[in-house]
């Protein structure tokens, strides 16, 4: 007999665990397949990109957010709508550069790393690098070229996880979405 109470929460939590466990299995497999952390980081970014270019459609369909007027609005949407919708967390947007083209997302906790520990021989692995690729791919589909990287990572001993996003340029033409 399945438990009646909190079934939706349980169900969502289990889906969350399915996702984080699958992500863990992926990183493990990539570490087996590639010789060094740098290569694994690259693969995670590539795969994230491929996911991002599709995820954006899902996001736009479900959120009915219109076009963002500027990078500040983009940052807000990413933190308050997208992260909330997909990962159930709301990172804070801080550390704006004077030119307004670069900001940080601070994640108090990162759902991807629940129960994860990095072994000593993988000190340069950016475990959650998939996220960078996803953000990059998604934004490219809405005509923004951005650079995304992890500035701090709780898995590597930092207090928080910080993702730094920098606006590179507006993409003028509609390039076809290719898989990398």
Structure tokens at 141: 């589909």
| Shortest spacing between CB 143 and another protein, in angstroms | 21
Cα 17 to Cα 4: distance, rounded to the nearest angstrom: 20
Interaction of residue 63 with another protein, rule CB under 8 A: no
| Shortest spacing between CB 169 and another protein, in angstroms | 26
Structure tokens at 124: 């340069």
Quick one: 13 or 72, whose CB is closer to another protein?
A: 13
| Shortest spacing between CB 44 and another protein, in angstroms | 10
- According to DSSP, residue 154 is labeled G
SS3 of 135-146: HHHHHHCCCEEE
| Shortest spacing between CB 164 and another protein, in angstroms | 22
Binding residues with another protein: total (CB under 8 A): 35
**Which position among 65, 72, 88, 94 is part of the footprint of another protein (CB under 8 A)?**
88
Rg for the chain, CA atoms, rounded? 17
Interaction of residue 4 with another protein, rule CB under 8 A: no
**Which position among 31, 87, 151, 160 is part of the footprint of another protein (CB under 8 A)?**
87
Footprint (CB under 8 A) of another protein, residues 142-171: none
Interaction of residue 47 with another protein, rule CB under 8 A: yes
Applying CB under 8 A, the span of 83-91, 92-100, 147-155, 159-167 interacting with another protein comes to: 83-91
Task: Decide if 161 contacts 106 (C-beta within 8 A).
Answer: yes
Cα 61 to Cα 15: distance, rounded to the nearest angstrom: 21
Residue 3 burial by CB count (10 A; 0-12/13-18/19+): exposed, middle or buried? exposed
Closest C-alpha among 141, 20, 135, 131 to residue 77: 135
Which stretches of the chain bind another protein, using CB under 8 A? 2, 10-26, 28-29, 33, 43, 47, 50-51, 54-55, 58, 85-88, 111, 130, 179
């Amino acid at each position: 007999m399945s438990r009646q109470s909190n079934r939706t929460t349980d169900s969502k939590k289990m889906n969350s665990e399915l996702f984080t466990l699958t992500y863990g299995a992926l990183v493990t497999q990539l570490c087996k397949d590639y010789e060094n952390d740098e290569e694994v980081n690259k693969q995670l970014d590539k795969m994230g990109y491929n996911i991002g270019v599709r995820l954006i459609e899902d996001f736009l369909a479900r959120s009915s957010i219109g076009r963002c007027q500027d990078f500040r609005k983009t940052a807000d949407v990413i933190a308050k709508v997208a992260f909330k919708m997909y990962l159930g967390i709301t990172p804070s947007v801080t550390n704006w550069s004077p030119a307004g083209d670069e900001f940080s997302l601070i994640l108090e906790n990162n759902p991807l790393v629940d129960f994860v520990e990095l072994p000593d021989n993988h000190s340069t692995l950016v475990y959650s690098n998939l996220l960078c690729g996803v953000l990059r791919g998604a934004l490219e589909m809405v005509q923004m070229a951005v650079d995304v990287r992890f500035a701090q990572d709780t898995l590597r001993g930092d207090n928080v996880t910080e993702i730094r996003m920098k606006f590179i340029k507006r993409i003028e033409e509609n390039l076809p979405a290719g898989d990398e």
